[in-house]
Chains A and B, each alone.
Chain A
């Protein structure tokens, strides 16, 4: 019996959550902690990687979305059970607010982080999924925490994250940005002006521990935007037209699209809308890698659902033509094209 989470542990746990077996999954996690695995590691080395694996299983069409959600639901219970069984010691490090940005409904990663930092001596206030900006700001005004951690799991919420970071800093509260939505090593959090960033919960622990003079930190409110044009805003406004022209081109090229059921049509429109949203997110942080990574993922999702990949090429073409007067958007789309080809 080791005090580290093994590959076999993860496989066993994945099987349990895959069956939606709530009580056995909770027992499994508690038994690991009993065995001597620090509760922190149970969350970060068992639950967190399992959530990532579940996402991949859905992307590869091996799990249904309902199964994915049922599994996540089980993991939520596991986190709650571990938190209840392992009470934190005295909270001596200060008050830390954890909030998912507006429109970010993936609360589990933030919840994991909240529990882990609570065990690390912080007085944690977990505000949950999709915290509306005004609600967060009035909370910060009311309770004056030492730091606010904003979580973003999908890059399409980066614009909301940006607004929240700025608003939080205007209350003189330093901001730690984290979550997969902020990209590799959370580098887009830095772009958006967060005081500190962390690629994952473990890194965040280190960042919080070594944040010098946190109590004297004075956030410098940013007064100007970091990208000079407003392409991401303008293109987001044109989203519906872009999707419509994308649908038109698809129906022309692939007659089957014309015969789609309303539900299929809606699903396709949703996909086309996602392409626009990720493009805008990439433009916001001015990093073509964002859109490229999304395309990689989209190809996996569509490929395993037997959607012909030339459809993506076609849509990128249409968008590129429509956005002839948006040089940065064209560059991102062109990079996306090369990525699909390569």
Chain B
């Protein structure tokens, strides 16, 4: 731009205006660069020609005195030939070296350029007010769209209410106001988060407010019932209690509801310092659109929290229990559910004291997957905990459980192993166990090959007088009994042509871990199966290892 300006040639002399001619035909005009005026040029009505221009054109001499001004310059700039330019902001412009400039004069945006020509500076000025306003409006509109898009993106993926409220306040400062307070209706009380624009960074504070502390009819009270409170000179005093102590005078403010499901989810309080432009109509509209997004995010988060609370309770009630310390016994367990969001499934295990000094254990698998299977497995565990208070015979327990299941509301089909273990004085462990249609456990002698315990029976929840087999084994020091669900042996890698994990691989793994602590064996089996599957478990895995801890277990070398 400036280059272009500097290469503009000196204007031809203005013949009809003696003053102008005098001025503009200085030494330069006669210089070597100056083309000779073609004949007849002197007769041109230069002043009229320039007066007809839309542009404001005037010439100033070195003394700062206007030597020529066309009609537009006289009309809009108020300059006059023979007088110095004294009114700001033009006075500052003509004192500076010539070049491009933009100034605001009486609501107008003027854009001009100055060109040195000998003893004078020639100024050409245009009124660009409308053009600038159009561009400003476009930029402002674009900014508002971007702001709302950003708000939607940040709030849309947020399902935590506190964070959604905080994000709302953070988005509003400084874009919309110097202070933003998001007040959320917690049912019991009001919680608020406030963000203030600071000299360096924004500051944040939070707190709670009793619902009784909101004066009826106040701006906050109105917003919480769904009314928008527009900017008003008295609004500053109304909301003063919500603002930071040192906020100072409120220039303008708004209190808008955050729309929720039926009821407002809360209110957004915005305050600007005195001195900052008040909320314009278009900004009020923007604030309401913003509040709609924030309200949707905050109420969705509240709804999510209610659902998640319920799910978390279910999860906690059915997640695998911590194993107890059983004297003379080393226990280990691993549990990996296929349904991952809540980390629960239909496989289960439990170890609890029995009625007669023995310890009871169970490992089982409810047909089905996910939360339904998890809830049913929780029911079975709960039933067993009650039954274990009075009964310690495994096959009798299965019978009772079977009857309870068959007379219950929904059909539950489950396979399980129930056992009772009694530590003997010689350090061995007597285990009696019964199976309800479950794969028999593997017995790992401290020296020897893993072998299945010979026991069989029918699944629980099928027949009223189902037969349940029972077996007894004695674990010597270091011997281990490994109970597992079919998710272990029937695990298959992604594609159907891959083989099942199968009992051989399980046995090989147990062989390699002979003598390792029960917990290590259980974890290893689960890990090996997870590796085998490679990607996602299709079925839950549960492993329970019972080891007679007669002597310190020596790890395999």
Contact = CB atoms under 8 A, between A and B. Distances in A.
A158 to B, nearest CB: 16
Contacts of B163: 144, 171-173
A65 B557 CA distance: 9
A66 B512 contact: yes
Contacts of A65: 512
Interface string A255-270: 0000000010000000
A36 B553 CA distance: 32
B330 to A, nearest CB: 10
Interface residues of B, number: 40
A172 B158 contact: yes
B157 A240 contact: no
Contact of A142 (B305, B517, B527): B305
Contacts of A215: 204
A66 B520 contact: yes
B489 interface: no
A213 B201 contact: yes
B308 interface: yes
Given A66-B555, A67-B555, A67-B557, A135 B342 contact: yes
Contact of B519 (A73, A105, A143): A73
A122 to B, nearest CB: 18
Contacts of A22: 517
Interface residues of A, number: 33
Contacts of A173: 163
A138 interface: yes
A135 B341 contact: yes
Contact of A73 (B154, B170, B343, B517): B517
A171 B520 CA distance: 36
A134 B308 CA distance: 13
A216 B202 contact: yes
A141 B160 contact: yes
Contacts of A21: 552
A66 B513 contact: yes
Interface string B314-357: 00000000000000000000000000111100000000000000
B526 to A, nearest CB: 9
B312 interface: yes
A218 interface: yes
Contacts of A172: 154, 157-158, 163, 167
B159 A171 contact: yes
A179 interface: no
A20 B343 contact: no
Interface in B148-182: 153-154, 157-160, 162-163, 167, 170
A132 B160 contact: no
A328 B80 CA distance: 74
B144 interface: no
Contact of B157 (A64, A143, A170): A170
A245 B111 CA distance: 73
A144 B555 CA distance: 43
Contacts of B362: none
Nearest to B162: A144
A240 B516 CA distance: 33
Given A132-B340, A144-B163, A221-B157, A20 B554 contact: yes
A105 B517 CA distance: 18
A93 interface: no
Contacts of A170: 157
A183 to B, nearest CB: 23
A141 B554 CA distance: 45
Contacts of A141: 158-160, 301, 304, 308
B308 A142 contact: yes
A144 B516 contact: no
B530 A105 contact: yes
B174 to A, nearest CB: 13
A215 B202 CA distance: 11
A69 B557 contact: no
B170 A216 contact: yes
User: Which of B160, B301, B304, B512: most chain A CB closer than 10 A?
Assistant: B160
B181 to A, nearest CB: 16
A88 B159 CA distance: 31
B36 interface: no
B517 A70 contact: yes
Interface in B507-531: 508, 512-513, 516-517, 519-520, 523-524, 527, 530
A20 B170 CA distance: 53
A12 to B, nearest CB: 18
A140 interface: yes
B410 to A, nearest CB: 27
A135 B340 contact: yes
Nearest to B315: A135
Nearest to A70: B555
Interface in A41-72: 64-67, 69-71
Given A66-B555, A142-B308, A171 B158 contact: yes
B556 interface: yes
Interface string A60-101: 000011110111010000000000000000000000000000
Given A64-B555, A142-B305, A142-B308, 7 more contacts: A20-B516, A69-B516, A105-B527, A138-B341, A213-B201, A216-B202, A218-B167
Closest 6 CB pairs of A and B: A132-B340, A141-B159, A144-B160, A70-B555, A170-B157, A134-B341
Interface of A: 19-22, 64-67, 69-71, 73, 105, 132, 134-135, 138, 140-144, 170-173, 213, 215-216, 218, 221, 240, 263
15 contacts: A22-B517, A64-B557, A66-B513, A69-B520, A135-B341, A135-B343, A138-B308, A140-B160, A141-B158, A144-B163, A171-B157, A171-B158, A172-B158, A172-B163, A221-B153
